[in-house]
Amino acid sequence: MIAIDGPAGSGKSTSARILAARLGYQYLDTGAMYRALTWFAIQNGVAPSDGTRLAVLARSVEITFETHEDINRVSINGRDVTSEIRSPMVTELVSEVSAHQGVRQAMVEKQREIGARGEIVAEGRDTTTVVFPDADVKVYLDCNVSTRAQRRLIDMARLGVSTTLQEQIAEIERRDKHDSERKHSPLTKSRDAYFVDTTNTTIEEQVERVLALLKTVLK
């Protein structure tokens, strides 16, 4: 079990997906699970402030992943929502939805069920601290805001979502504040996680850094 944490745009999703492929492991994108739930809540008229109803939804839905043509496809109750969960509305509301304790408890249970299968590369914002505190290796990725915004801009373009660099910078700063200050499972670096600065590195370079770290830790 390898757990990777870090703020939005730090490269953790792409790095974790490539790392999982290199190792022959399954890739678990915990953030996409919260986005899928947020999209589902919007479709069903459940307010992002309604923690009770959101928790019920979180326990009832089925969220699955499948890597296809270098993209991690996300489905909820059998419907592919890979592009929909990256929409501006979902991005705006997902932090509020994911902050509810009942929602996080339900999602953590689902994530641990997947993790129990073994040979997993999991990533998110509380993966090393809450979901998998006993992971074999914990990694925390981070870099400056402008680099993170540029990466998110590229990711959005690949998914066909129109946005600007300025919008992504503002969104990342908002997400950072909300995620680090939320009451339940805030974004924080685990004391036993290895820190990797991904500023001024390509995705391939940061994947190689993590692989080198794994060779050292797991030898």
Q: What is the pLDDT of residues 58-111, one digit of tens each?
A: 999 999 988 776 677 899 999 999 999 989 899 899 989 999 999 999 999 999
* Helix, strand, coil percentages, rounded to 5, for the chain: 55, 15, 30
Q: Is residue 142 part of a domain?
A: yes
Report yes or no on 219 lying in a domain: no
| 169 within domain boundaries | yes
- DSSP output for 135-189: -SEEEEEE--HHHHHHHHHHHHHHTT----HHHHHHHHHHHHHHHHH-SSS----
**Domain tally, the chain:** 1
Tell me how far apart the alpha carbons of residues 179 and 166 are, in angstroms, rounded to a whole number.
20
What does pTM read for this prediction? 0.81
What average pLDDT does range 13-31 have in this prediction?
90
196 pLDDT above the threshold of 80: yes
Place of tokens 């999209």: 39
Contact 5, 190 (CB under 8 A): yes
- Residue 183's pLDDT is what? 75
What distance in Å separates the CA atoms of residue 15 and residue 207, rounded to the nearest whole number? 6
- Is residue 26 domain-resident? yes
CATH of the domain at 7: 3.40.50.300
Q: CA 36 to CA 57: how far, in whole Å? A: 11
Instruction: Name the residue with tokens 């009770």.
Output: 52
- What are the tens digits of pLDDT across the range 118-147? 889 999 888 999 999 999 999 999 989 998
Any domain includes 202: yes
Residue 47 located in a structural domain: yes
Range of the domain at 72: 2-209
Distance CA 84, CA 36 (A): 8
Q: What is the mean pLDDT of the chain?
A: 90
Please check whether residue 92 lies inside any domain of the structure.
yes
Beta bridge partners of 123: 4, 29
User: Is residue 139 within 8 Å of residue 5, measured between CB atoms?
Assistant: yes
